[in-house]
Chain A
Amino acid sequence: GEDVEQSLFLSVREGDSSVINCTYTDSSSTYLYWYKQEPGAGLQLLTYIFSNMDMKQDQRLTVLLNKKDKHLSLRIADTQTGDSAIYFCAEPFDNYGQNFVFGPGTRLSVLP
């Protein structure tokens, strides 16, 4: 079946860069997504990348996509305490692109 994998925890110091990694399985996915979840809240879309792109940059966020290895990463530059949250990568899955598969989430802790 479809499976999206992420490391579960990441700790960084404030001001450093954070890199959150994800591997996915469905090579036909048109888009891949990163979501952020703050404590007790729903998921908020951070960014997405179209599958024909290798990189997308949006302010402090950089998404890198390696389709050959089915590897997706999210880099957060100048990480702030407000970036502490759980980050999920997700890909659409099923014949009609109706469903989504989420990774287990990476809990990012930003230390002062």
Chain B
Amino acid sequence: SQTIHQWPATLVQPVGSPLSLECTVEGTSNPNLYWYRQAAGRGLQLLFYSVGIGQISSEVPQNLSASRPQDRQFILSSKKLLLSDSGFYLCAWRRWGAGGMSGELFFGEGSRLTVL
């Protein structure tokens, strides 16, 4: 069966510090990978998605970046955090080329980031 892991689950960082959130998917190959952010009391904002190693699409210009060094690893980074980066970050995966299938997203448990 497929699983998705995110870490750390909780992070408190000062403004201006760097960030690295990691996400790993197991039990599948060549998944589409996604990073979403959920601000307090709000919906989901798509930040980045990737259809393959080294392929990153950015949906929202900001001081965050994403990388996919391996097929099933997706990393969200920042060189200098802002207060507005606080939120709940969710990694998700989807079967590649899910045409004809239900093609749903599977989410990790989330990483709560507080920037002080």
Q: Hey, which chain A residues are within 8 Å of B43, CB to CB?
A: 88, 102-105
How many chain A residues have a CB neighbour from B under 8 Å?
Answer: 24
Known A48-B104, A104-B43; contact A97-B99, beta-carbon cutoff 8 A? yes
Whether, in the assembled complex, A82 has its beta carbon less than 8 Å from a beta carbon of chain B, the answer is no
B28 to chain A, nearest CB (A): 15
Contact of B51 among A35, A98, A103 (CB under 8 A): A98
Interface of A is mostly: strand
Known A102-B44, A104-B43, A105-B43; contact A41-B102, beta-carbon cutoff 8 A? no
In the complex, what residue of chain A is closest to B10 when comparing beta carbons?
Answer: A40
| Binary interface encoding of chain A residues 80-112 relative to chain B, with 1 for a CB under 8 A from any of its CBs, else 0 | 000000001010100001111111110000000
12 A–B contacts from the bound complex (CB under 8 Å): A30-B103, A31-B102, A31-B103, A40-B110, A41-B109, A45-B104, A88-B43, A97-B99, A98-B32, A102-B36, A104-B42, A105-B42
